[in-house]
Amino acid sequence: MIEVERLLKSYGATKAVQEISFTIAQGEVVGFLGPNGAGKSTTMRMLTCYLSPDRGTARIAGFDILQQPREVKKRIGYLPENNPLYMDMGVIEYLRFIAAVRGIATGSVRANIERVIDVCGLTSVAAKDIGELSKGFRQRLGLAQALLHDPDVLILDEPTIGLDPHQIIEIRNLIKNIGRHKTVILSSHILPEVSATCDRVLIINRGKIVGSGTPAELAALSRGKQTVLVTVRGPRDDVVAALRGLAPVSEVVVKESQNGLSRLEIICGTEGNEDVCEQIFFLVARSGWSLTELSCKTVNLEDVFLELTTREEP
Amino acid sequence: MNATLTLFRKEFRSFFSSPVAYIFIISFLVVTNWLFFRTFFIVGQASLRNFFGLLPWIFLFLAPVVTMRAWAEEKKLGTIEVLLTLPVRTHEVVLGKFLACVAFLVLALCLTGTLPLTLMLLGSPDPGPLWGGYLGACLLGAAYIAIGVFASGITENQIVSFIVALVICFAFLIVGENIVLYSVPPALGSVCAYLGLGSHFQSIGRGVIDSRDIVYYLSMILFFLSLNYLSIESRRWK
């Protein structure tokens, strides 16, 4: 449905997007995850033909963004960052305006507007002016605008930013429902957001894709590395030396040390670490020390994200 | 074409969603009527020459007010991103905005129709200069509007938009004035005289409709609308 080939865009000296390539199949919900300024919005703006790439191209539903922008725009529903709206228009007036510009046949405008008002839960505010709406309703209206022409592809730039937790859940459910039938790209710098709504995640940092996969796959990426927290009662230096001697252990960091208790963070390598907790237990027991804490830190998407986006450039 | 019409309607309606439109029209009418009637009964001539003589200067300040929000507000609110990712061509948007502003200015101009009506009641004015004057005013206004819409497209600040439009309009207005013509080398004189927005207005206002004047205004409009188009399109490559 969406094929992106080596898209490149720079603003002056800064390279916002550096030769990004990916494909998205029909019906997929894909999340762009990355810190602010990573190039997520720029990529979306190129896909929606708002900006032109310096090099590279993309095809949406078979139409090239440079050669046939109108055909591309017809097939996309787009919610830009910060959801800009004409504050002086009424809700219905705005949707009518969008319908008219999109060239929706006069006969079906009414039905389309009723459909999106229903889907996005705007019935109670349909008679109001946009300026009077709360942020949550404005966001729904932005979505309604994007859905009005029943597009194949939805591109949503930070759809839940600035909403309260309750509204976030509502918008997420809305996106999930829509995502059953449509190809969706959404961006976020909030992790639970993408893991909750997306089939696949592309982690973008400094204009490059640094990781990609399902939320589960990404979590598995760094499952190889494991961190174990232990607190041992015993002579600190001996304990550290003994733990360093264990095969899977690659590093031991002393977090705290007082009254003969040492709190240590043990970072393990990628191999043979399934039983590392057991090995630590037996080592401590054999040496006649005692364990007061032993816990494995489970890796979640957040850790993968932090690791992938803070890794130094080679 | 359909999109242009839709955008025209949206832009035109948006003038009236704020009190600015009413303030604009009322102040325009008060100023024009005052300036007209101030001398009308003293001079006792059944002509609008005085009114049309001042119009380029009144429009100089009022046309930028009409156009200043055209693009600047879209840019400030970010709605330009919604607008330009809809399946419209940029020139349709440019045209829609331009026509809406022209229509608004023409509407204000139509409301000064009480002046020629007064003349007709009290005397028998020569219809040529009247019609010519109004036609010239529409063309001059449209040229100002084209400049204003362009100025609005290069900034997201309405005040900047207003001032830039004012400066460009002013430059094109005075370049054809005698004071400039006397001070430039003779070779440039005819060029300057041709470029001046006001001189063409005066010749149409005499009731002589010369195709050269019409062509001049149309090419000014086309030139600034093209610049507007380019400046909006250039965002893609910035």
pLDDT in single tens digits along all 314 residues of chain A:
899 989 999 888 888 888 899 999 988 899 998 888 888 999 999 999 999 999 999 999 999 999 999 999 999 999 998 899 999 899 999 999 999 999 898 889 999 999 999 988 899 999 999 999 998 899 999 999 999 998 999 999 988 887 888 888 888 888 888 888 889 999 987 777 787 788 898 988 888 888 888 877 776 665 556 678 888 888 888 888 888 887 777 778 888 888 888 888 887 765 555 677 788 888 888 888 888 888 876 556 666 677 666 654 44
A-proximal residues of B, 53-112, CB under 8 Å: 77-89
Cβ <8 Å between B79 and A45: no
Question: Which among B18, B79, B84 has the least Cβ separation from residue A50?
Answer: B84
* Closest residue on chain B to A90 (Cα): B17
Task: Report residue B160 as tokens.
Answer: 């900047």
For residue A105, CA distances in Å to A76, A96, A149, A281 come to 18, 11, 10, 72
Cβ <8 Å between B87 and A103: yes
Query: Can you give the pTM of this predicted structure?
Result: 0.84
CA distance B217 to chain A (A): 30
Q: Which amino acid is at A37?
A: G
Contact residues, chain B, for A11 at CB < 8 Å:
238
CA dist B137 and A85 (Å) reads 35
Most distant pair of Cα atoms in chain A: their distance: 84
pLDDT score for A314: 41
CA dist B68 and A55 (Å) reads 35
pLDDT score for B129: 85
For an interface test with B, the pick among A11, A46, A50 (most B C-beta atoms closer than 10 Å) comes out as: A50
Task: Report residue A76 as tokens.
Answer: 């996309």
**Overall average pLDDT of the B111-120 stretch:** 89
Contact residues, chain A, for B238 at CB < 8 Å:
11
pLDDT score for A271: 54
Residues 6+ apart with CB under 8 A from A56: A4, A5, A6, A7, A8, A19, A20, A21
Cβ <8 Å between B89 and A70: yes
For an interface test with B, the pick among A49, A101, A147, A158 (most B C-beta atoms closer than 10 Å) comes out as: A101
Cβ <8 Å between A98 and B235: no
Question: Which among B2, B14, B86 has the least Cβ separation from residue A98?
Answer: B86
Cβ <8 Å between A86 and B79: yes
Cβ <8 Å between A100 and B77: no
Question: Which among B2, B79, B87 has the least Cβ separation from residue A73?
Answer: B87
**Overall average pLDDT of the B216-230 stretch:** 95
Q: Does B219 touch chain A (CB under 8 A)?
A: no
How many C-alpha atoms does B109 have within 13 Å on its Cβ side?
26
Positive or negative torsion for Cα A141, A146, A148, A150: negative
Domain coordinates in residue numbering, chain A:
2-217, 224-298
CA distance A98 to chain B (A): 8
pLDDT tens readout for residues B194-214: 888 888 888 888 888 888 889
Mean pLDDT of all residues belonging to chain B: 90
- Its ipTM equals 0.88
Contact residues, chain B, for A92 at CB < 8 Å:
none
Q: Does B3 touch chain A (CB under 8 A)?
A: yes
What architecture does CATH give domain A2-217?
A: 3-Layer(aba) Sandwich (3.40)
% chain B with pLDDT above 70: 100
Lowest mean pLDDT among A226-230, B60-64, B137-141: A226-230
pLDDT score for A270: 56
pLDDT score for B74: 94
Cβ <8 Å between A48 and B7: no
- Edge-first strand order for the sheet with A261-268 is A249-258, A261-268, A226-233, A290-297
Cβ <8 Å between B88 and A101: yes
Question: Which among B14, B82, B237 has the least Cβ separation from residue A80?
Answer: B82
Q: Does A76 touch chain B (CB under 8 A)?
A: yes
Question: Which among A70, A76, A84 has the least Cβ separation from residue B78?
Answer: A84
Cβ <8 Å between A84 and B77: yes
Which 3-state string (H, E, C) describes chain A? CEEEEEEEEEECCEEEEEEEEEEECCCCEEEEECCCCCCHHHHHHHHCCCCCCCEEEEEECCEECCCCHHHHHHHEEEECCCCCCCCCCEHHHHHHHHHHHCCCCHHHHHHHHHHHHHHCCCHHHCCCEHHHCCHHHHHHHHHHHHHCCCCCEEEEECCCCCCCHHHHHHHHHHHHHHHCCCEEEEEECCHHHHHHHCCEEEEEECCEEEEEECHHHHHHHCCCCEEEEEEEECCHHHHHHHHHCCCCEEEEEEEEEECCEEEEEEEECCCCCCCHHHHHHHHHHHCCCEEEEEEEECCCHHHHHHHHHHCCCC
Cβ <8 Å between A73 and B77: no
pLDDT score for B2: 82
CB atoms within 10 A of CB B70: 28
Q: Does A73 touch chain B (CB under 8 A)?
A: yes
For an interface test with A, the pick among B81, B232, B233 (most A C-beta atoms closer than 10 Å) comes out as: B81
Q: CATH for A224-298, among 3.40.50.720, 1.10.10.10, 3.30.70.1340, 3.90.1150.10?
A: 3.30.70.1340
Choice between B40 and A3, residue whose per-residue pLDDT is larger: A3
B-proximal residues of A, 34-53, CB under 8 Å: 45, 48-52
Is residue A200 a contact partner of residue A213, using CB atoms and an 8 Å limit? yes
Cβ <8 Å between B81 and A85: no
CA dist A239 and A231 (Å) reads 10
